[in-house]
């Protein structure tokens, strides 16, 4: 009440009398009055001054003081913008879409953390690290368990682990860059770049191995298994099994189309077909084939000085299949691709890759070498025959830098995934295309890379196909109000004492969305998981996590 009365008094008194008012205030402090006199005097004075102030303001417009801005000028002396037309809101520049905050994804984080704890406990993994980004922003990264069990060093987002075959996706960027620059032809024999790799024959016929076939594992070059007979038997067994499943699906479909009406003859024929198929599968079932972790070449300790030198491991071996005819996953094929990159770029493979890592801001991604000090590097583990956790043996991965020899963190892998997603989507946004920065790879290049290739397989998700150094599942829905298959790209990895996955779930940019100026790529969810235990399947876990975050994003 007293502050209000004081303010009213100051407004009623002209500025030139402020000094007299201050003297009066100073003098009144010498008076000694009772509390009742002060209250009554203040109330009466306030009422009188308030009435006079109100009557003075109602009929007069105060003149501006010297130096004060005119009503039609800004404080800086510049004319103000004209008032908007009646009924129209004032123009404002479009604000960028809000950045996703971790609080928004609290439910998804809690659910995903619980899932990872379950997976970790189920497989007995010492440590696991996860990273998730939404629309290009990292919203969650966390380590569970131990990076170093002996010294009780916990996992954290900065933990460096083997990323295994995700290295193939990194190598694809180098190949794509050289192709975009016109320095690499994907469809001519690799001998043009690497004459040290001998020309090949298959069943007496000369055949060509090209860079494109190597990328999609269609070259016929072997993997770690050297026994061609075992590999062919396994491929034949899988083909028969798939044929049987297809026949059963078609028979069920035919029965539904005719309303389930079938006579005894058709039932007998169906039963006989099933028996014949089972007999064929039993007779053609291959002998026990070693898995990758039982192959001696996976545990090589020899250091190779360059990519050309590592070719001697397999260059003189026969092709297991005719190039282009069948899919045979081959890390050695990527060792040959490293040599192609060296010759096409004129640089050592690792030097060229480090330039790419620098451009992508992947500051913790390096080739795995034993001697250098690599901060936050985890140790790698396996269980022995007695079920005890032990350290993995020493291995030298210099023979397969391109196919499985890099180390990284979840933060770097998220950056890489978002760079790929940006390049893929930037071409879809026609209205903003000229205003946005270009992607590291061109949109048409990314579309080519993420287009499934015929005659290929995606071992970590049977719904998909292998593309160019990525597995791709396409969008599909067969029945209304039923399961909808989302489009995504991923690559898994398995190395000695390590498992990994990088999964990209793009936002479905419809025509309406691509015309919206607020849509700025990358749009979607990127998930990566790295683990210091081998033989841990992580793709389905990463997909579940991506869908959880996508759900929170949509809500």
One-letter-per-residue 3-state SS of 357-421: HHHCCCCCCEECCCCCCCCCECCCEEECCCCCEEECCCCCCHHHHHHHCEEECHHHHHHHHHHHH
- Residues for the chain: how many in total? 555
Would you state the structure tokens that stand for residue 399, as one six-digit string? 């023979």
- The verdict on whether 165 is a catalytic residue reads yes
The four Cα atoms 436, 438, 440, 444 give a dihedral, to 10 degrees, of 110
- Determine the Cα–Cα distance for residues 497 and 368; give it in Å rounded to an integer: 13
Q: Choose among 335, 328, 336: nearest CA to 459.
A: 328
- The answer to whether 45 and 28 have CB atoms below 8 angstroms apart is no
- Determine the Cα–Cα distance for residues 541 and 133; give it in Å rounded to an integer: 16
- The answer to whether 402 and 341 have CB atoms below 8 angstroms apart is yes
DSSP 32: -
Residues with Cβ within 8 Å of residue 456, at least 6 apart in sequence: 216, 217, 218, 327, 465, 466, 467
- Helices 166-180 and 349-359, axial angle in degrees (round to 10): 90
- The answer to whether 490 and 528 have CB atoms below 8 angstroms apart is no
Question: Which of 112, 133, 165, 499 is the catalytic position?
Answer: 165
- The answer to whether 523 and 425 have CB atoms below 8 angstroms apart is yes
- Determine the Cα–Cα distance for residues 322 and 201; give it in Å rounded to an integer: 8
Q: Which H or E run contains 528?
A: strand 524-531
Q: Choose among 220, 549, 496: nearest CA to 380.
A: 496
Would you state the structure tokens that stand for residue 426, as one six-digit string? 């930037």
| Strand 205-207 to 488-495 pairing | unpaired
Catalytic residues: 165
């Amino acid at each position: 009440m007293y502050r209000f009365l004081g303010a009213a008094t100051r407004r009623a008194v002209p500025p030139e009398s402020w000094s007299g008012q201050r003297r009066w205030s100073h003098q009144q402090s010498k008076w000694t009055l009772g509390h009742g006199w002060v209250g009554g005097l203040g109330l009466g004075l306030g009422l009188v001054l308030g009435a006079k102030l109100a009557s003075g303001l109602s009929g007069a417009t105060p003149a501006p003081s010297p130096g004060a801005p005119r009503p039609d000028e800004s404080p800086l002396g510049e004319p103000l913008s004209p008032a908007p037309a009646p009924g129209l809101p004032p123009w404002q520049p479009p604000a960028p879409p809000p950045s996703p905050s971790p609080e928004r994804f609290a439910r998804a984080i809690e659910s995903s953390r619980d899932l990872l704890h379950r997976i970790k406990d189920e497989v007995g993994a010492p440590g696991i690290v996860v990273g998730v980004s939404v629309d290009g922003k990292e919203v969650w990264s966390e380590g569970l368990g131990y990076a170093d069990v002996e010294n009780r060093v916990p996992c954290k987002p900065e933990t460096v682990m083997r990323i295994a075959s995700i290295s193939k996706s990194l190598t694809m960027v180098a190949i794509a860059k050289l192709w975009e620059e016109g320095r690499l032809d994907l469809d001519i024999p690799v001998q043009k770049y690497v004459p040290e790799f001998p020309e090949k024959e298959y069943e007496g016929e000369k055949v060509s191995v090209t860079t494109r076939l190597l990328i999609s594992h269609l070259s016929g070059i072997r993997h770690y298994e050297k026994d061609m007979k075992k590999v062919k038997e396994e491929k034949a067994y899988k083909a028969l099994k798939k044929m049987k499943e297809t026949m059963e699906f078609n028979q069920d479909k035919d029965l539904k189309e005719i309303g389930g009406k079938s006579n005894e003859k058709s039932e007998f024929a169906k039963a006989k077909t099933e028996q014949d198929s089972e007999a064929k599968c039993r007779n053609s079932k291959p002998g026990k084939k070693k898995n990758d972790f039982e192959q001696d070449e996976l545990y090589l300790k020899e250091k190779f000085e360059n990519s050309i030198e590592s070719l001697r491991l397999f260059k003189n071996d026969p092709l297991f299949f005719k190039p282009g005819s069948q899919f045979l996953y081959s890390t050695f094929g990527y060792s040959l691709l490293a040599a192609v990159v060296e010759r096409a770029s004129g640089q050592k493979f690792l030097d060229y890759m480090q330039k790419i890592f620098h451009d992508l801001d992947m500051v913790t991604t390096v080739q795995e070498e034993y001697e250098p000090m690599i901060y936050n590097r985890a140790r790698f583990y396996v269980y022995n025959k007695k079920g005890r956790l032990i350290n993995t043996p020493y291995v030298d991965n210099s023979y397969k830098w391109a196919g499985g020899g890099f180390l990284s963190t979840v933060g770097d892998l998220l950056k890489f995934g978002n760079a790929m997603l940006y390049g893929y989507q930037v071409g879809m946004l026609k209205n903003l295309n000229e205003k946005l920065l270009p992607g590291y790879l061109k949109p048409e290049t990314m579309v080519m890379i993420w287009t499934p290739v015929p005659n290929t397989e995606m071992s970590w998700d049977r719904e998909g196909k292998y593309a160019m150094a990525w597995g791709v599942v396409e969008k599909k829905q067969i029945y209304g109000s039923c399961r909808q298959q989302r489009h995504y790209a991923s690559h898994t990895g398995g190395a000695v004492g390590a498992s990994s996955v990088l999964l990209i779930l793009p936002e479905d940019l419809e025509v309406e969305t691509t015309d919206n100026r607020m849509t700025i790529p990358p749009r979607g969810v990127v998930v990566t998981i790295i683990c210091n235990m081998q033989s841990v399947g992580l793709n389905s876990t990463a997909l579940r996590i991506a869908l959880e975050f996508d759900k929170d994003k949509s809500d």
